[in-house]
Amino acid sequence: MSVSEAILEVDALRVHFHVPRGVVRAVDGVSLALRKGETLGLVGESGCGKSTVARAIVALVPTTSGDIRFRGESLIGLSRGRMRPLRRHLQMVFQDPYASLNPRMTIASTIAEPMRIHATVAPGDLDERVCEIMELVGLDPSMRRRYPHEFSGGQRQRIGLARALALEPDVILLDEPVSALDVSVQAQVLNLLEDLKARLGLTYLLIAHHLAVVRHMSERVAVMYLGRIVELADREPLYTEPIHPYTEALMSAIPVPDPVVEAERKRIPIEGEVPSPTATITGCPFRSRCPQAFERCEVEAPELEEHRPGHLAACHLPDAD
């Protein structure tokens, strides 16, 4: 991908937290880029650093090192005044629709707040704009004077999406947008996200652990393990021909609706425990749980390299073939 194609670039990003027992390397050298108009899925086990990547992009957590560029401009070290006009183009929808809304604010106030802060809409036009945005996400504008507790989980997630859309962003970071919702509601929200992307020309970074959701929504997928990207490729090659043993194990766990095929499929269990987040790791971070690890994995950390056209993996196995 050329630099000109990327609207958002993350380069060698590290986010480390100091704790009494040492340093937690939540994000440890992540590089990825979003093309304008695409959905890039970011998957991995809980605690692998997916959400921290998104929070670092929108400056909710400080970065330790690396760079984040939006339309070629670095966001690292910007003053609050310089960051403000850029922030409106990068919005985030959080995982928990119950915790991400202020219970003391009406829905109208919640959606209007970012427009007031950024002065994108005249005060006299705010109410009309709030109604337009509520209709856009499938909410009845007559409910705008109500409070969050009066809405269902799916409706609250739509409110969170409406708040993100209020500033007409270019990129929306979706942090587990349906994981807290009932299965019956998940499909409605996912369909809404796809419709909005097509209508508004949005770019999504979709963070999720539900692999079927990511496959349905994403053009490309990045797999994270222990703070690092271990594989990145277009959706179908990654799901059908994964290179990294960790990705292969994840894909083997996706259920198939055909009971005959499902009964014959081979599951690849991931044995062992994830290393302590404060542990100093030499070699490949996955080696202690990898059934195919060999001597080189013990001493040398693999780089994320292209092993097939457009298909990157951080693994020594392809070199050993």
Q: Which residue has the higher pLDDT, 24 or 257?
A: 24
Residue 55 makes CB contacts below 8 A (sequence gap 6+) with 61, 92
pLDDT in tens, 191-229: 999 999 999 999 999 999 888 889 999 999 999 999 999
Domain 3-89+169-320 fold = Rossmann fold (3.40.50)
Reference 93, options 201, 11, 190; nearest CA is 190
Query: What integer best gives the mean pLDDT of the chain?
Result: 90
Angstrom distance (rounded) from CA 207 to CA 75 = 21
Query: Residue 262 is encoded by which pair of tokens?
Result: 């499902």
pLDDT in tens, 5-54: 899 999 999 999 999 988 999 999 999 999 999 999 999 988 899 999 99
Query: Residue 65 is encoded by which pair of tokens?
Result: 């090192």
Kindly state the average pLDDT of the residues 256-280.
Answer: 74
- Is there a contact between 267 and 278 (Cβ–Cβ < 8 Å)? no
pTM as predicted = 0.91
